[in-house]
Amino acid sequence: MKQPFTICERYTTIKEQHQINEDIRDREVRVISDAGEQLGIMSASAALQLAIDADLDLVKISPNAVPPVCKIMNYGKFRFEQAKKEKENRKNQKVVELKEIYLSMTIDVGDLNVKAKKTMEMLADGNKVKVSIRMRGRQQAHASMGVDVMNRFFEMLGGKAVMDKAPKTEGRNILMILSPAK
């Protein structure tokens, strides 16, 4: 049985994300100043000396480039800004869920209206909706009736939904996937 991970394994340290100062062991690096201007290609020790003179850090930004790109910057401020951006992105991120509504081939108009109203609420929340009908017994011989029920249901939504996947018979089920209209 695998042991649960430790805190060290879960959170990468700062040095694992970016090489800074003495950790940069490349012979030559392309250096960018803190103002954003290119200083050219020089040895890592000369670039580190420039960073020390400016009382800043030398950070390897693009390790896969030839030669690697390093920037002279305040690394603590850079990490703070990066964490702030990640937090903002997580806050603005919307998770779209796939909700499901079940219909039957013999559903009445009143029940269909209730299901349509519930589907509109789900779509208004920004979720996708999977509409399904499970055919039983002799209903399997009349799958076209189920597709008609699905089409009628879609028309009841009145343009508030877009059909991602048209009604299609898959074995004993008829499925349709709807997403919110723009």
- In this prediction, residue 171 carries a pLDDT of 87
98-180: same fold as 7-90? no
Cα distance from N-terminal residue to C-terminal residue, the chain: 48
Spatial CA neighbour of 73 closest among 35, 29, 121: 35
Domain boundaries, the chain: 7-90, 98-180
- In this prediction, residue 134 carries a pLDDT of 92
Per-residue pLDDT 10s for the chain (182 aa) are: 445 544 444 444 444 577 788 778 888 888 888 888 888 888 888 888 888 888 888 888 888 888 888 888 888 888 888 889 888 888 877 777 888 999 998 888 899 999 999 999 988 888 899 999 998 888 888 888 888 999 999 988 888 888 888 998 888 999 999 998 88
Q: Domain 7-90: which CATH class?
A: alpha beta
pTM assigned to the model: 0.51
Q: Domain 98-180: which CATH class?
A: alpha beta
* Cβ contact 105:133 at 8 Å: yes
